[in-house]
Structure formats: structure tokens, C-alpha cells
Amino acid sequence: MPNQPLDLIPIPVLYVLSAGILLIAMECGFRLNRQVPKGTLNKSDAHIGVVTAASLALLGFLLAFVVSLGTDVFKQRWQLIIEEVNPISTTHLRAGFLDEPQRSASRQLLQDYASARAMAWEPGQLDEALQRSLRIHAELWRHAEVFAIEQPSATTSLYISALNDVFDRHTERVAYGLNVRVPPTIVWSFYLVAGLSAFLVGMLARHSKERNPLAVIILSLIPSAVLLLIVDLDRPNEGFLKVPHQPMYDLDQQLSGSG
């Protein structure tokens, strides 16, 4: 998986850091503006309010855009699991068209392949399972080449076509599961806009003799929670929102029971 800078930080820790950054930005804006005489900035307070409102609106738009992007990637990963399960099952059925020993050998390889794909997204199993999947690809294709020469027929063509679909779905799932991520530039843009917006909110609070600490904390926690959701959607193999792999587990159980 291509690591992004934020991948090095656990999700709960990232949430705390994000809230802390926004709190610091608000405090900096508050303290900076309190050092300037009130009379100097009275006329510009309305302008600061307009700029703050515009920046918060931009932050809201950016949050909606990034959440939508992360949700689309999450849905596509889920859809690709279904699209990968079906060709494996179809290929296993069409292997019954083959003569022995290719029939039993191909079905055993497909059963092993389903097991490898089911384990691919378990913690610590990804690299080994992917390598195992590629080795099974090569073995399946070696068998396909043999009986394509020895048993040229329409049923053999159906099997090879289904096997090609298995390979294609594997490539798509790996691409979406590991390589398609929310661009880090967008995440950094969120931090920049959120930090500057918090800074402006702090500037607007300069007239308050006493601030409500609870309100300030809540204001920092809200956008941090949305960032937590974005990062969680973007990490396919960790966090609280994991793509359900139950269809692949069910297929593994089904093929194992079929013998």
C-alpha cells in the first residue's frame, strides 16, 4: 500500500492531534488580536466576521467534497468484493467441464485461491496473501494452457473466459483497495482551511472578557470528527469502518465444503 504521511499516525491519535491543532489556532488568533488596541480594529471587526463566515463556508464545502470522495471509494471497494466472488464461483463450477486430473487440480487451486483472498485483508496477512494469490494465478494458467491444447472445445473456452475474469477482478480490487486513496493534497488543504478558519474564529472572540472553554473545545472537536471519518474511510485495512469481506469468507466456506 502506498503510504501517505498521515498513515504513520493511528486514527485515535490523529483525532486528538487535529483537535489540538485547531485549539492552538483559535488561541493564537485570540491572543494576537487582544494585543491590538480595540479602537484600532473596531471598524474592521465586521470585515473579519465576513471573512470568517466565508472561510467556514469553504471549510464546510471542502468537508462535504472529501467525505463524498471517501464514501465513493469505500462503496467501490465493497462492490469489487462482490464482483470478485462471482467469477471465482463461476470458474469453480465450469471447472467441472474439464477432464481429470485437470478438474480436481483446478478446483483445488480455486479453493486455495478463495482462502487466500479471504485472508488478504486480515491484519498482517496482506503481503503474504497477495503473493500467494499471484502464485495460484500462475498455476491456474499453466493448467489452462495444458487443457486448452489437449481439450480444445467450447466448454474449455468458457472455463478460460471465467478464469480471465478472476484475474481481472483481482487486479481491480488490488488497485482500488490499495492504490486508490484520497489525495494527500486534499487532506492537507483541509488542515490549512480548518486551521485558518479557527484562527479567524479566535480573532472574533477578542471582545469577550471570558470565553466558554467547553464551546471552544466542541468547536475544535466537530471538524476533527469529520477528518476522522475521512481518514477512516480512506484506510481499507484498519480503523472503525472496514469494508465487509463476508461474501469472500462465505465463498471460502462453500468451496471448502464442496470438496
Residue of higher predicted confidence among 177 and 69: 69
End-to-end Cα separation, the chain, in angstroms: 34
Confidence of residue 110 (pLDDT cuts 50, 70, 90): very high
CA-based nearest residue to 252, from 148, 112, 141: 112
pLDDT at res. 101:
81
Per-residue pLDDT, averaged over 156-173, amounts to 90
pLDDT at res. 162:
92
Domain spans in the chain, listed from the N-terminal domain onward: 8-258
Q: Which three cell numbers stand for residue 6?
A: 498521515
Confidence of residue 139 (pLDDT cuts 50, 70, 90): very high
**Rounded to whole angstroms, how far apart are CA atoms 88 and 148?**
19
**Rounded to whole angstroms, how far apart are CA atoms 116 and 30?**
56
At 32-61, the pLDDT tens digits run 766 665 555 555 566 677 788 888 888 888
Would you say the pTM of this structure is higher than 0.85? no
pLDDT at res. 209:
56
Indicate if the pLDDT at residue 95 is higher than 80: yes
pLDDT at res. 135:
93
Q: Which three cell numbers stand for residue 143?
A: 493448467
Q: Which three cell numbers stand for residue 179?
A: 492504490
At 184-202, the pLDDT tens digits run 888 888 888 889 888 888 8
pLDDT at res. 136:
93
